[in-house]
Chains A and B, each alone.
Chain A
Amino acid sequence: MLGLDKKDTTLLLIVAVLTMCAPFLLNPFPEGSGMAQFNAGYPDLMQRFVIFGIFAIGFNILFGLTGYLSFGHAAFLGVGSYAAVWMFKLLSMNVLPAIVLAVIMSGLFAMLIGFISLRRSGIYFSILTLAFAQMMFALAYSVLTPITGGETGLQLALSDPRILGASATAEGNIPVPALFGLEMRSSTVWEVGAWKFTFNTGYYFCAVIMLVSFFLAIRIFRSPFGMMLRAIKSNQQRLRYTGLNPKPYTLAAFVISGMYAGLAGALMASMDPLAGAERMFWTASGEVVLMTILGGAGTLIGPVLGAGVIKYMENIVSKINSDILHGWFAFLPDGLEDFVVAIIYPFIGKGWHLTLGLMFMLVVIFLPGGLVEGGQRIARAFRRGKKNEAPKAASTEPAE
């Protein structure tokens, strides 16, 4: 389907079904129950899942395929956000022109930064991208304040021209981002017994864009271009002596991944129309590296998984506090309860970074292929188990 082979089509369909059903799947616990705090099915977080998923999918096209580790990709996210908010200020609150401009602008920035940074490889390339991103962050905070809003960030105002829209709504408010009248923030809530499911327009809009981005990434992975990128990672010398200059290929990959980042930035601004320089800070660039490696660099679905895991921990695990822990372990004798809580406490709440760090270390050491490799190993073990039970069963498809 759509020019994909059977395996890739299946993967795309599974991802499509999961994202479309996310409001159910992420809200498995009834409202008001003790487990409700593990529900991730609220619009804000679901939007973050798919937006960072897009960011990581794009980053993986550069890092996963060519092996060039950029430490400055948040810069393009920031550029995308600023471009989108400027579109909201000047043109209209329609998200489409904002997204288009954001992708173009981040692509241009990526072209310039990539052209210079790709003169070096390995650690020097990483340092160059980091330097560029930090430079842009610092500029956005200081001299570029007229464009970026400086420390307060770039925000909408009633006085903005919005030449194709209205400066203010009839009630005198600042209008909200919308897709041809369909407001991004609007939600439908569906209550089934004790369960509450929220269907948010913004989430579904982002989810559809993520599916398209994911589909395009699969096409790139399976294309001659994708193969060239893997060849670059494998042996640039051989590629040169085979008659191709690696540079334009890596630059193209860099620009594509920069455009994905700009798209993610534009979607962030479309969900919440403001942009700040902190989106370009180096920790934000580091986060997408973590997402990609945690999920599995160079795999198709890995970066999306990694983005999901990290955003879930950041928003859910970080909210567990010691009272909640005491509540869970109240059945234990007092002394033991305090002891167990004391042991777990450093790993939750503000300590979620510790959990993430440990998880990251374990993955890098034991599963260099990321969570995807973990999944594949489990699947293989299962298959082997089944074969032992029924040795006469016909051999299944080869594992991947």
Chain B
Amino acid sequence: MGILDVKDVGKRFGGLKALSDVNLSVQENTCHAIIGPNGAGKSTLLNCLVGKLIPDTGSVMFDGQSVLGRSPHEINQMGISRVFQTPEIFGDLTVMENMMIPCFAKRDGAFRMHAYESIAAERDLIEMAEAMLDDVNMLDKRNMHSASMSRGDKRRLEMAMCLVQNPKLLLLDEPTAGMARADTNNTIDLLKEIKDKRDITIAIIEHDMHVVFSLADRITVLAQGTPLVEDTPENIKGHPKVQEAYLGESH
């Protein structure tokens, strides 16, 4: 039993079998990578974990509880945070405001009507948000309008917004897509540091093999909606089936 257990999950879109018989167990405090060619069903699988999609069959257990039938905000409150394939941030808000919202969400747990209080009075939350921004080297951008930032910065902000909630499980959908090499390396360093410093489990979808092999403790290869193999990075590298299904294409 891992912290996340996916059993016999299947999902169809009309006639298309996006996922079938997916079994996956992510162990606590490890980094589990899911790789596979375009259209393999990686994002679909992730969506089934966070309440965006409901699988047709199977079960998804997180931390001993089923996530199926729960809405995204409830699943987040259980301790799962997610980074999207294209960064989802509050574009009309400043960087600091973007950080404050997950802080409030984490502290309040649900709807609270703080309509008369001032944000500036929340010293603890502000400090928390600033410390996190510092960790991702964005403290100097705290008053920037977040929509006007580069894609790499938006991605880092989104990651910081997830991390500031101190999630048990962090789901990352291609976190380095569209990033410059230097930014990618920064992200790898950041994730490594987080892994070492905190009790956190990471599930990452990634095309960039450099990122995968730098971070992953285990790798699952997904092809046409089904897991092909699951193994350690060393074994995956040399696996003939993987070479054929995935690595062969991109190398």
User: Which residues of the partner chain B approach A227 to less than 8 Å between Cβ atoms?
Assistant: 93, 97, 100-101, 104, 119
Pick from B82, B110, B119: contact of A241, CB below 8 A. B82
What 0/1 readout, one digit per residue, does chain B (17-34) give for beta carbons within 8 Å of chain A?
000000000000000000
A243 B76 Cβ-Cβ under 8 A: yes
Instruction: Tell me the chain B residues, 161-216 only, with Cβ under 8 Å from chain A.
Output: 161, 165
Task: Mark the stretch among B56-64, B84-92, B239-247 that contacts chain A.
Answer: B84-92
Partner of B106, one of A219, A235, A243: A243
A256 to B93: give the CA distance in the assembly, Å.
23
Beyond A227-B97, A238-B89, A243-B165, is A252–B113 a contact (Cβ under 8 Å)? Answer: yes
CA distance in complex: A126, B52 (Å):
26
CB distance from B156 to the nearest CB of A (A): 15
- Contact call A223/B116, Cβ cutoff below 8 A: yes
B72 adjacent to chain A (CB < 8 Å): yes
Q: Which residues of B contact A234 (CB under 8 A)?
A: 90-93
User: A223 to B93, Cβ gap below 8 A?
Assistant: no
- Whether A121 is near chain B, meaning CB under 8 Å from some CB there, is no
Q: How far is the CB of A399 from chain B (nearest CB, A)?
A: 14
CB of A136 to closest CB in B, whole Å? 27
| B141, CB-defined interface residue at 8 Å | no
Q: Which residue of B lies closest to A233 (CB)?
A: B92
What bracket does the count of chain A residues touching chain B fall in? 20 to 34
A243 to B71, CA, bound (A): 9
Contact of A245 among B101, B106, B110, B118 (CB under 8 A): B110
Q: A225-B114, A240-B72 are in contact. Are A235 and B102 (CB under 8 A)?
A: no
Task: Please pick, from B82, B111, B116, B119, the residue contacting A244 in the complex, using a CB distance under 8 A.
Answer: B111
Using Cβ atoms and an 8 Å threshold, which residues of chain B touch A239? 73, 90, 101, 105
The yes or no answer to A193 lying at the interface (CB within 8 A) is: no
Query: Would you call B105 and A243 a contact (CB within 8 A)?
Result: yes
Q: Does B35 contact A (CB under 8 A)?
A: no
Interface residue A346 (Cβ < 8 Å from any Cβ of B): no
**Chain B residues with CB under 8 A of A226:** 115
A237 within 8 A of B: yes
- Judged by a CB distance under 8 angstroms, whether A386 is at the interface is no
| Any B CB within 8 A of the CB of A249 | yes
- Fill in one digit per residue for A138-174: 1 if any B CB lies within 8 Å of its CB, else 0: 0000000000000000000000000000000000000
Q: Are B106 and A223 touching (Cβ within 8 A)? A: no
- Residue interface mask A239-273, B partner, CB < 8 A = 1: 11111110011001000100000000000000000
Q: Contact at A228–B101, with CB atoms within 8 Å?
A: yes
The listed residue with most B CB atoms (<10 A of its CB), out of A3, A225, A241, is: A241
Q: Tell whether A223 pairs with B101 under 8 Å between CB atoms, given A230-B92, A245-B110.
A: no
In Å, the complex CA distance between A219 and B114 comes to 10
CA distance A223 to B122 in the complex (A): 10
Are the CB atoms of A224 and B88 closer together than 8 Å? Answer: no
Cβ of B249 within 8 Å of any chain A Cβ, yes or no, is no
Please pick, from A223, A243, A248, A249, the residue contacting B117 in the complex, using a CB distance under 8 A: A223
Taken together as a complex, chains A and B put the C-alpha atoms of A111 and B248 apart, in Å, by: 59
A244–B110 contact, CB under 8 A? yes
Q: Are B93 and A243 in contact (CB under 8 A)?
A: no
The answer to whether A235 and B116 touch across the interface, beta carbons within 8 angstroms, is no
CA gap between A252 and B114 in the complex, in Å: 11
B220 within 8 A of A: no
B104 near A240: Cβ-Cβ < 8 Å: no
Q: Which residues of B contact A216 (CB under 8 A)?
A: 116
Assess the A224–B119 pair: CB atoms within 8 A: yes
B50 within 8 Å of A (CB atoms): yes
The distance from the CB of B85 to the nearest CB of chain A, in whole angstroms, is 12
Asked if A231 and B93 sit within 8 Å, CB to CB, the answer is yes
CA distance A235 to B101 in the complex (A): 12
Bound-complex Cα distance A225 to B50 (A): 25
A120 interface residue per 8 A CB criterion: no
Q: Which residues of A contact B226 (CB under 8 A)?
A: none
Chain A nearest CB, measured from B73 CB (Å): 5
Q: How far is the CA of A230 from the CA of B100 in the complex (A)?
A: 13
Chain B residues with CB under 8 A of A231: 90, 93, 97, 101
Distance (whole angstroms) from the CB of A280 to the closest CB of chain B: 27
A222 is an interface residue with CB less than 8 A from chain B: yes
Known contacts A222-B119, A228-B104, A231-B93: A241-B114 contact under CB 8 Å: no
Q: In the complex, what residues of A have CB within 8 A of residue B88's CB?
A: 235, 237-238, 241
Which A positions have Cβ atoms within 8 angstroms of B? 3, 5, 216, 219-220, 222-228, 230-231, 233-235, 237-245, 248-249, 252, 256
Closest 7 pairs between A and B when the two form their complex, measured CB to CB:
A243-B76, A248-B111, A234-B92, A225-B115, A243-B105, A224-B114, A234-B90
Interchain residue pairs with CB less than 8 A apart (22): A3-B118, A5-B120, A219-B115, A225-B115, A226-B115, A227-B100, A227-B101, A228-B101, A230-B97, A234-B90, A238-B161, A240-B76, A241-B73, A241-B82, A241-B84, A243-B76, A243-B77, A244-B73, A244-B105, A244-B108, A245-B111, A249-B111
Given A225-B115, A240-B71, A242-B101, 9 other A-B residues pairs in contact with their CB atoms under 8 A: A219-B116, A220-B116, A223-B115, A224-B100, A224-B104, A240-B73, A242-B76, A242-B161, A244-B105
